[in-house]
Structure 1
Amino acid sequence: MLTDNKFLIDLAHTKMPYGKYKDRYLIDLPEHYIVWYHQKGFPKGKLGDMLTQVYELKLNGLEELIRNIRKQYPKP
């Protein structure tokens, strides 16, 4: 469970490292961009895992959950 919590806290603070939406929080990426990435294929590794999670969260309307985590657990 602790690992899941850490993943969600990391996700809440992670920004897109490149491209048109560089430096935007992953959870704040436009839905059409996440859907496009889902169709194209997410990158390998941690970023891909996080984008996959963002896709699922947006699909279920749970973006606020991550925004609330970001507020509750500020980055040190």
Structure 2
Amino acid sequence: MKPEDLETLVTRKMPFGKYEGWIIADLPGPYLNWFAREGFPNGEIGQLLQLMHEIDHNGLSDLLTPLRQR
């Protein structure tokens, strides 16, 4: 993970699926859990989803609040 990845979580939109167009940081926990069970996609989007899953799963979503306010 790079520090810039945290900022990307609050700006990048989900490019496909049920929540297409949602900011990755706003994706619901159950959706992130589904990816954790079924497998994350390859590439940058998969890495971002995996990072967001870890943040959400460990109750650290408040870390993103200051980045959202920029």
Mark the CA change 1:16 to 1:67 in structure 2 (over 3 Å): closer, same or farther: farther
Number of aligned residue pairs: 70
- 1:40 aligned residue: 38
Structure 1 segments unaligned to the other structure (5+ residues): none
Paired residue for 2:65, among 38, 63, 67? 67
- 1:5 aligned residue: 3
SS in 1 for 2:10: helix
Identify the structure with the greater helix proportion.
Answer: 1
Q: Which amino acid aligns with 1:34?
A: L
Question: What TM-score do the two structures reach when normalised by structure 2?
Answer: 0.87
- 1:20 positional shift: 1.2
Paired residue for 1:53, among 51, 54, 58? 51
Question: What TM-score do the two structures reach when normalised by structure 1?
Answer: 0.81
What percentage of aligned pairs have identical amino acids? 36
Moved more, 63-72 or 18-27: 63-72
Q: Which amino acid aligns with 1:50?
A: L
